Amino acid sequence: MRSRWSGGRGYFVAAVVLGVVLLAGGAVFVLRGGDEAAPAPAPEVGHVAQSGPSPASYSSSPSDEVYAALADRAGDPKPLTEREAFPSAAKKLDADGVPGTLTRRAERLDADCTAAVWGRGVAAELMRGGCTQAARTLYAAPDPEPGHVLSVTVFNLAGREEAERLVAGLDAARGAGFVLPLTAKDAGQGFGRGFGMARGLALGHYAVVAWAERLDGRGAESDEALLSLLIAGGQPPAVLNRAARTR
């Protein structure tokens, strides 16, 4: 399958689920190493939404060597700007099998990463991972029917390990926490009500979560259009451009 951001470029990373567990109660993500692993102390979490939507299907991938130069934020210290996160060249998105062109309907860049998620466990993991930014984008194509919507969230974390732990742990967190997609008129209000597919990728020290749904709520894991949208959503221009500049 082939997907294209207008004016953009991308890479595809195969989905591999990492061995990360969310402790009971949704409080702490823990990496299992060896026979025993002590829970990391949970950082203090302020106000965070306690309920929200979750996708029906989720997969994740660790970082690829393409993003080796972005493995640590110390080597990529400048914060993402709104111009980087939401470039004019990426206002429209085309994906194979998806009727019509998706248009960017909403965008938001937060310094408080917990504003982009629900669930205290996910919020605590973002804080533990040194998250400094969350960039959210919503694309939608209401017509022709059935219409599709794509949410893309990019988290700026301290390092590759933190990004991989976050995207892998979101699978266990579903039902107790997940990202909070933006909404727009006639798009995005139905996230989690019907069938939706999400995919988390670590791209160096960035974690990307793409979430695609049909506006009629139908679908299945074999839905070619949804799969194509997930590939497109895993190619955020800001991260791809930074990776290209360091090669």
85-124 residue pLDDT tens: 999 999 999 999 999 899 999 999 999 999 999 999 999 9
In a domain, 44, yes or no: no
Kindly state whether residue 22 falls inside one of the protein's structural domains. yes
What pLDDT score was predicted for residue 44? 63
pLDDT tens by residue, 183-210:
998 888 889 999 999 999 999 999 999 9
Percentage of the residues of the chain whose pLDDT score is greater than 90: 74
Return the pLDDT at 111: 97
* Domain membership of residue 136 as a residue range: 3-32+49-245
Residue 145's pLDDT is: 85
Is pLDDT at 18 greater than 50 in this prediction? no
More confident: 109 or 23: 109
Would you say residue 41 lies in a domain? no
- Which of 4-18, 89-103, 133-147, 156-170 shows the lowest mean pLDDT across its residues? 4-18
Strand order in the sheet with 102-110: 3-5, 92-95, 102-110, 133-141, 148-156, 206-214, 196-203, 57-61
Q: What is the pLDDT of residues 28-80, one digit of tens each?
A: 443 333 333 444 454 566 689 999 999 999 999 999 999 999 999 999 999 99
Angle at 86 between CA 180 and CA 225, to 5 degrees: 65
Is the per-residue pLDDT at 21 higher than 80? no
98 inside domain = yes
Average pLDDT of every residue of the chain: 85
Q: What pLDDT is recorded for position 43?
A: 56
Q: Residue 92 domain-assigned?
A: yes
- Confirm whether 127 is domain-assigned: yes
131 has pLDDT over 50: yes
- How many structural domains comprise the chain? 1
Q: Is the pLDDT of residue 153 over 90?
A: yes
Q: Is the pLDDT of residue 27 over 70?
A: no
Instruction: Assess whether pLDDT exceeds 50 at residue 163.
Output: yes
Q: How confident is the model over 208-217, as pLDDT tens digits?
A: 999 999 999 9
Residue 39 resides in a domain: no
Who has greater pLDDT, 22 or 233? 233
